A and B are shown apart, each in its own frame.
Chain A
Amino acid sequence: MPDPGLAAMVSGTMTTQPGQTAAVACHGLAKRYGSVIAVNGLDLEVRRGECFGLLGPNGAGKTTTVEILEGLTKPDAGVVEVLGERWGQGDDRALRDRLGIQLQETRFYDKYSVRETIQLFRSFYRRGPTPDEVIRRVQLEEKRDAWVVKLSGGQKQRLSVACALVNDPDLLFLDEPTTGLDPQSRRQLWELIDDYRSGGGTILLTTHYMDEAERLCDRVAIVDHGRVIALGTPAELIATLGIEHVVEFSLDGGGSLEQPALEALPSVRRVRRETTGWALHVEAAHVAVPALLAAVESGGTGLASLTTHHATLEDLFVHLTGRTLRD
């Protein structure tokens, strides 16, 4: 039964052009493992050509969600459409032929070379670039004939992405592509993702790095306890906090500042106790910070630390859940 209304059901803000289905749409997704609820009524819509991020802490249900969308895990409930097809109701192999999938923690054969590994994966697909072309795109030319076991973490991750690109996929799934990588390797991977996007591809990626989501994603869904708790562009989401800056400080010495005193400071919207100090959500740092310094001075105490930063998705997550992403 055709169901063109699914995408409309899923998203409140329908901007998909008429006649074109969403790249990914799911509605009411649920999955439990024993007594653990991994996904709890999750709705999503990924538009064609966008980079969509699932942002959330470890254990939020991101991987389970993605594996359901990839057709690797059966949901207990819910509807999934990928490139207009549903798993198990048509030609799954033909659908797989159009997808690029990178999983967390895949270990390839240790004693197989980069080129051999890519060649192997290339042979599963009908169409796609040559293995050497894929190697060039992921900048592994120097490691072309090296065994997988000899690669660094970042190189292994690029190989993993390379294996997802061997068929020039219409839709690319990346599950925590940069977790555990050093900053340089992360940047290399980001460039690789930019390169794929510039060719018109659609990406669904998961991450628990807010900076990665802000850097890569057109839209982000923040996931917690198996549900979407916020959805929008990174800028829109941050704007919902209604603040520009976050000021974090901790005190040194005998005196103290009480929460009401901090809330009364000009431009401060919210005050939150942190493990070793306080975080202030402020509209304008140049107004709030001098007032804070004066309050510290008159309270007869000193500052152990003081930092300010632009509000981020992390701040939004903390505001929404009371926890940090890395908890």
Chain B
Amino acid sequence: MEIARALEHNALWQLTRARTMGFLREPEAVFWVFVFPILLALALGIAFRTQKPQPLPVGVAAGTTAAVREALATAAELRVVPLASDAEAERALRNGTIVALVHGEAGASRVVYDPTRQENQLARMLIEDTLQRAAGREDPARIEAITRTQRGTRYIDFLLPGLIGMNLLGTGMWGVGFPIATARQQKLLKRYMATPMRRGEYLLSFLFARLLWLLLEVAALCLFGRLVFGIGMNGSWPAFISVVLAGALSFSALGLLVVSRAKTIEAVSGLMNVAMLPMWLLSGTFFASSRFPQVVQPFVQALPLTAVNNSLRALMNDGLGFAAVTPSLALLAAWGLVSFVVALRIFRWE
């Protein structure tokens, strides 16, 4: 009772409460923060679920001997597609219903394929092997194949840490940017300035409110990953929490920087997109950022979301510890600190 009464008159508590309620009473905001990432994870997890490799469809052109056709049919990794005419064969190659086309007779065959695609190259090698063996090739060395399925190598294993990172970015920046832009546009910020409210407490309330949702949104995604896809934490929990906190604070500071001067919500939306778009594209949420050319890698690696995504993967998938994420933590701290200091200097209170 005493505590409740003290909190009633505590400005920081009241501001944090207003912040939190303002969020929880917006069904759309709750959807984007909690439901959307889970739906996304579910959809992508199902679409890219691990499947048994399907046999590669290989076209057999008209006029090819039965011996060749029968030889190819013995290979388990291939599926023979007979084609009646040259025109049909061309069409099948073009639209990808076959990955390679075989012509001719045993002893003198031709394979037509597109060498820029791995699947097609694989098909060519399998055709080569199959036809050579059918023609009587003896393999001099014996190679035993042992199969083992690795944990943490599925697409969803890669995706989930990226979704956590992307969510931290989105909620961190919008969670600060939108309410401040609204308050400024609706003259509420000015009204606050007319009271003895401390400016620091106003900004701090965003931080506190942010930490509360942060806990909930990261927990929701982690729990979902574990229950639905069996994704666990292979590395250090304290390191994970540190990365999540550093990421969230750094993105909030960036949000504060973006909103520090903007007068309207439209202006803030534009600036938000300018700040977030490069990270969505380059920071490796849906595919590895190492796919980008070497020239842009210094830029890609300097982005805070890249640091968050790489660190979360190192911890969750690769099972590494604090040491592996220390450089990323330092980078995030630098982003957060610089953004915050600059934002405070240029912030428009009226």
Interface residues of A (CB under 8 A from B): 70-73, 93-94, 96-97, 99, 101, 103-109, 111-112, 116, 119-126, 163
Contact = CB atoms under 8 A, between A and B. Distances in A.
B25 interface: yes
A106 B187 contact: yes
A163 to B, nearest CB: 8
A120 B187 contact: no
A173 to B, nearest CB: 8
Contacts of B15: 120, 123
14 contacts: A70-B194, A93-B196, A96-B195, A103-B194, A111-B26, A116-B17, A116-B18, A119-B8, A120-B17, A123-B8, A124-B192, A124-B197, A125-B196, A126-B196
A140 to B, nearest CB: 18
Nearest to A95: B196
Shortest 7 CB-CB distances between A and B: which pairs?
A: A107-B186, A111-B25, A101-B194, A123-B14, A96-B196, A124-B195, A93-B196
Contacts of A112: 18, 21-22
Given A72-B190, A109-B18, A116-B21, A121 B195 contact: yes
A208 B21 CA distance: 38
A122 B9 contact: yes
A72 B350 contact: yes
Contacts of A120: 14-15, 17-18
B94 interface: no
B18 A124 contact: no
Contact of A106 (B13, B22, B186): B186
B341 to A, nearest CB: 24
Contacts of A72: 190, 193-194, 350
A103 B190 contact: yes
B206 to A, nearest CB: 14
A126 B11 CA distance: 10
Contacts of B14: 119-120, 123
B91 interface: no
Contacts of B195: 96, 101, 121, 124-125
A111 B13 CA distance: 18
A103 B192 CA distance: 11
B110 interface: no
Contacts of A163: 191
A60 B187 CA distance: 21
Contacts of B11: 123-124
Nearest to B14: A123
Interface string B331-350: 00000000000000000001
Nearest to B22: A109
Contacts of B22: 109, 111-112
A283 to B, nearest CB: 47
A93 B197 CA distance: 8
Contacts of A107: 186-188
Contacts of A123: 8-11, 13-15
B190 A106 contact: yes
A157 B177 CA distance: 27
Nearest to B186: A107
Nearest to A94: B196
A72 B187 CA distance: 12
Nearest to B7: A123
Contacts of A111: 21-22, 25-26
B122 to A, nearest CB: 58
A103 B18 contact: no
A96 B13 CA distance: 20
A121 B18 CA distance: 11
A70 B187 CA distance: 15
A99 B195 CA distance: 8
B191 A103 contact: yes
Nearest to A107: B186
A97 B196 contact: yes
Nearest to B198: A93
Contacts of A122: 9
A96 to B, nearest CB: 4
Interface string B204-244: 00000000000000000000000000000000000000000
A103 B187 contact: yes
Contacts of A105: 186-187
B18 to A, nearest CB: 5
Contacts of B26: 111
A94 B14 CA distance: 20
Interface string B290-305: 0000000000000000
A111 to B, nearest CB: 4
A321 B198 CA distance: 44
Contacts of B188: 106-109
Contacts of B197: 124
Interface string B1-34: 0000000111101110110011001100000000
Instruction: Name, among B8, B21, B191, B350, the residue most crowded by chain A CB atoms within 10 Å (CB to CB).
Output: B191
A227 to B, nearest CB: 25
Contacts of A99: 194
A93 to B, nearest CB: 4
A163 B192 CA distance: 11
A129 B25 CA distance: 28
